[in-house]
Amino acid sequence: MMGRCVLITVYGLKTCDTCRKALAWLEAEGIAYRYIDVRKDGVSAKDLKRFAEAVGHEALLNKSSTTWRGLSDAQKSDLSKAAVLKLLEVHPTLMKRPVFETGKTILVGFKEPQKTALQACA
């Protein structure tokens, strides 16, 4: 068991169904969190770099998003770490979500592995 984590920070969008499900699940599990809406509150370049170092920049990029479909072919063609981080900084809605920061690890998405890791913090 991982033991207690510090307060979990959740990065997401208030309009994202998966983010809403994740927040409802956290509340039902009694897991304390603070929420950052990446569209409204933003996400810093420093945070994005930290996330990319933890999970890989490819794992952060949501290629099924409306924002991704609106990018030019040139923007979509360069998937280097630097280019992806710049895209995410300019278009935070490109970030795959939710992103959970537990103080011990960074988790992306909301499926069983993430739920198990989050429960280990509670």
Give the active site residues. 16
The tokens describing 39, both together, are 């569209």
Query: Which H or E run contains 115?
Result: helix 112-119
Task: Give the alpha-carbon dihedral of 13, 9, 89, 41, to 10 degrees.
Answer: 60
- Could you tell me if 87 and 61 are in contact, meaning their C-beta atoms sit under 8 angstroms apart? yes
CA–CA separation, 66 vs 113, rounded Å? 26
- Strands 8-12 and 33-37 turn out to be parallel
| For the chain, counts of helices (H) and of strands (E) | 7, 4
